[in-house]
Structure 1
Amino acid sequence: MKNFSQKAGRRPRMDRRGFTLLEVLLVLAILIAIAAMVVPNIVGRSDEANKDLTRINIAAFEKAAQMYKIDNKVWPEGSTEDVIMLLMMTEDDQGKVRASYLEKIPTDAWGEPLQYQYPPPENTGNTGKPLIYSFGPDRADGVMTTSATSMNWWNRISRPVGRVSICG
């Protein structure tokens, strides 16, 4: 016995389930086009976000050094490690408990410790104030460059936060 929906000589109509290959390829092409427009913007933003985070951490290190100078009338001196330990101490010279100037080791956005120099090198034009900087994303130690990927010495304590200084 034939179904009413079937006419003589025709194949039974099957319920449509799923998508055709053409529909799948069209959606895939649209997704690839959107990704091609969005991905470069996201990658560029993460680089800027890392630089901004490092600028903020440099500013916090600067504030800690300034607070030390206000309390002690001199800038902290020594190696980066010595200065960080000095700013993290919770006792003064007489053994009295005090708040530390830093709560943790200041790092850049790439997880490396920030660098501190006082007195600063003469060729930085930064006399009288410490030089606080990051080696940047490629961590090229001690190389002064104008390369955008090698942001060495790129934010000085004497300049306002928010500017990138690249020596060249």
Structure 2
Amino acid sequence: MKGSGERNRLGFTLIELLVVIIILGLLAGIVIPRVVGRVDQARRESTRIQLKALKGALEQFRMDNGFYPTTEQGLRALVEKPEIPPVPKRWHRYLDELPRDGWGNEFVYLSPGEDGHPYELFSVGPDGLEGTEDDLSVWNLVKGE
């Protein structure tokens, strides 16, 4: 015949289960913010890389054609020959496809730009809203920001 002490060893007590749940909660509280922070950091880095690639393609377009695409032509001028004037005479495909930023948004392109820049090129960032603090501009990348 089994004693009452032997029966208790066959399963976990409610207190033991609560301790395990609390420990798992604490670990999740430490690990999840770090993982989420890394995902956001990876999205920002991906966006920076895409901005640099777009900047390079825009510079190549200008060297070939003597001007940057207009706002109306947009970044699409890097993957399809523009039909809107001024039509580039020495155009070729500069990119296979237009990239999106790390959050899946299209990049914003305006030409001419402001503050003496020949164009504006930026990501609206994680909030998807233009003109907020989380926007990433190609010109800030040049400055190392």
Which residue in 2 is equivalent to 1:102?
95
Gaps of 5+ in 2: none
Match of 2:125 in 1: 136
Alpha-carbon distance change, 60 to 51 in structure 1, aligned in 2, over 3 angstroms: same
1:3 maps to none
What's the counterpart of residue 151 of structure 1?
Answer: 134
Number of residue equivalences: 140
| Structure 1 residue 134: Cα displacement | 1.3
**Higher Cα Rg, which structure:** 1
Q: Is the 8 A contact 1:129 1:158 kept in 2?
A: no
Higher relative contact order (CA 8 A, sep 6+): 2
- Residue ranges of structure 1 left out of the alignment (5+ in a row): 1-5, 164-168
Give 3-state SS (helix, strand or coil) of 2:109's partner.
strand
Residues 1:87 and 2:78 aligned together: yes
Distance (Å, rounded) in 1 between the aligned partners of 2:58 and 2:140 = 12
Identity %: 29
Q: Contact 2:74 / 2:110 at 8 angstroms: preserved in 1?
A: no
TM-score, scaled relative to structure 2: 0.76
Match of 2:104 in 1: 111
Q: Do the aligned partners of residues 136 and 66 (structure 1) sit closer, same or farther apart at CA in structure 2, a change above 3 Å counting?
A: same
In structure 2, distance between residues paired with 1:140 and 1:15: 59
Tell me the SS of whatever aligns to 2:69: coil
The reply on whether 1:69 has 2:46 as its aligned counterpart is no
